Amino acid sequence: MTAPLAAAPAAEAIQKPPRGAGEKPSLVGLSRAGIGAELAAIGVEPKQIRMRTAQIWNWIYARGVTDFGDMLNVSKDMRATLADAFTLARPEIVAEQVSEDGTRKWLMRFPPRGAGRPVEIETVYIPEIGRGTLCVSSQVGCTLTCSFCHTGTQKLVRNLTAEEIVGQILVARDRLGDFPDKSTPVGAAVPSEGRLVSNIVMMGMGEPLYNFDNVKEALLIASDGEGLSLSKRRITLSTSGVVPMIPRAGEEIGSMLAISLHAVRDDLRDILVPLNKKYPIAELLDACRAYPGLSNARRITFEYVMLKDINDSAADARELVRLLRGIPAKINLIPFNPWPGVNYQCSDWETIEAFSDIVNRAGYASPIRTPRGRDILAACGQLKSESERMRARERLALEAMMADSED
Ligand code: SAH
Ligand code: SF4
């Protein structure tokens, strides 16, 4: 049984975590209406709110300013008032690592907001010739426990706020010099033309559909045409299969969808992606068939991690093709990226190619994802931060809440 739509992610209960004492509210991560409400609260005249909101929006998202003093078309007095009341501060960058292949990974730290201690997450930038993809995290840790995923060994500490999700994009653009009048660090690997951050994938730490409201708010900001202006076709939300939330993702966010499938039989998927016990393959694929706006030009990506002798046989490939019949799909084969202590191995290269051939012959594009940034543990599924876990009691309460709201 799947849950009614409105009931799904419980994480809302911690969606607006308390700010620390003396912390100014940030205007980053708010909708236009949210900024308007903040301006009204500090006494900005109602007839000015729309115009001021548009100006501030442009400065934050199109120009990347972090200081109200730089908002030159805003009066001096108003700039000072804004600076007294609000902040635009970026997240703290604890570490920046650059792989030998040019991939960059940032470890960012955010305030505790109910989690006990400051929390840390990772964001990865993957430069290619024609695009620059930012892999963004949605949660600190993950409640799910996919057996091949490093993040899955780290319990959920807390959801990220919309501010923190958008903050990852702003930090990446800052560090890459991807705002007007900013310069790119010498020697940085970036696409040869176009925007440096041209694509967003919600494939970092966490399950984005368990933090729906914040992810939605952040992605609507990322795709807003007067700000960060990323086309929704260049934003991909990856889910391990939170079936009840898939229709809402389609209707309310409208980004591209990726499904972490990884197995073609329920008995195996129950082990690899334990959420399958709740939402088995048939239900998941029904939700995919109903995803709005699908066409040959707008396909769902099915991610399939290649695990040696586990899910990589020719029979598996044929069954995959059969299962996906009728769904505009592409299949992304991900060579398994190992991490310390894991028992799986990556399939042999010939096996991956043979699998890919079967899928290709059936008419599906099936690119094999080249592992990037393995030397800095930045590849798919390798992210994990040392953030303190919630106290066991709090965590159990949160997990019980999540389970209840899905039933
Ligand atoms: N929680 C979401 C998004 C984050 S994971 C989800 O599961 O879809 C992004 C992708 O990396 C998923 O397809 C995930 O299954 C895959 N992945 C996780 N661990 C991996 C590993 N060790 N090697 C290769 N891919 C991995
Ligand atoms: Fe969570 Fe995705 Fe990792 Fe599964 S694969 S544990 S859902 S981050």
pLDDT tens readout for residues 83-100: 999 999 999 999 999 999
pLDDT of residue 281: 98
Q: Give the closest ligand to the alpha carbon of residue 149.
A: 1
Mean pLDDT to the nearest integer, 178-199? 86
293 conformational bin, left if phi > 0, alpha if psi -120 to 50, beta if neither: left
pLDDT at 115 over 80: no
Highest mean pLDDT pick, 13-17, 41-45, 115-119, 364-368? 41-45
Residue 164 CA to residue 120 CA, distance in Å, equals 11
DSSP 312: -
Residue 333 CA to residue 348 CA, distance in Å, equals 13
pLDDT band at 384 (very low <50, low <70, confident <90, very high): low
Annotated catalytic residue, options 164, 303, 380, 406: 380
pLDDT at 294 over 70: yes
From the options 1.10.3470, 1.10.10, 1.10.150, 1.25.40, give the CATH code of 32-85: 1.10.150
From the options 3.20.20.70, 3.80.10.10, 3.40.640.10, 1.10.1040.10, give the CATH code of 92-406: 3.20.20.70
DSSP letters spanning 59-118: IIIIS----GGG-TTS-HHHHHHHHHH-B-PPPEEEEEEE-TTS-EEEEEEE--TTSSS-
Residue 216 or residue 377, greater confidence: 216
Annotated catalytic residue, options 122, 217, 303, 406: 122
Binding-site residues for S-adenosyl-L-methionine, please? 206-207, 238, 260-262, 337
Binding-site residues, please? 142, 146, 149, 206-207, 238, 260-262, 337
pLDDT band at 390 (very low <50, low <70, confident <90, very high): very low
Tell me the per-residue pLDDT of 304-356, one tens digit each, with 9 for 90 and over. 999 999 999 999 999 999 999 999 999 999 999 887 788 999 999 999 999 99
Residue 273 or residue 114, greater confidence: 273
Ligand 1 touching residue 303 (CB < 6 A) = yes
Indicate the top mutation candidate among 203, 243, 343, 372 to test ligand 1's pocket, ranked by most ligand atoms within 8 A of CB: 203
- Percent helix / strand / coil, the chain, rounded to 5: 40, 15, 45
Quick one: which H or E segment has residue 135? strand 132-135
pLDDT of residue 48: 95
Cα(203) to centroid of ligand 2, in Å?
9
Tell me the per-residue pLDDT of 28-66, one tens digit each, with 9 for 90 and over. 999 999 999 999 999 999 999 999 999 999 999 999 999
Mean pLDDT to the nearest integer, 9-18? 38
Q: What percent of the chain has pLDDT over 70?
A: 87
116 conformational bin, left if phi > 0, alpha if psi -120 to 50, beta if neither: left
3-state SS, residue 278: coil
| Residue whose CA lies nearest to ligand 1 atom number 24 | 336
Whole-Å CA distances, 70 to 113, 176, 278: 29, 20, 51
Cα(149) to centroid of ligand 2, in Å?
6
Q: Return the minimum-mean-pLDDT range out of 2-6, 67-71, 201-205, 294-298.
A: 2-6
Ligand 1 touching residue 402 (CB < 6 A) = no
Residue 380 known to be catalytic: yes
Indicate the top mutation candidate among 143, 237, 240 to test ligand 2's pocket, ranked by most ligand atoms within 8 A of CB: 240
Residue 122 known to be catalytic: yes
Distance in Å from the first CA to the final CA of the chain? 8
DSSP 383: -
Indicate the top mutation candidate among 215, 305, 344 to test ligand 1's pocket, ranked by most ligand atoms within 8 A of CB: 305
DSSP letters spanning 322-333: HHTTTS-EEEEE
3-state SS, residue 139: strand
What is the residue-averaged pLDDT of the chain? 87
Q: Where are the domains of the chain?
A: 32-85, 92-406
Mean pLDDT to the nearest integer, 180-193? 82
Q: What percent of the chain has pLDDT over 90?
A: 70
Q: Give the closest ligand to the alpha carbon of residue 151.
A: 2
Task: Give me the phi and psi of 299, to 5 degrees please.
Answer: -105, 160
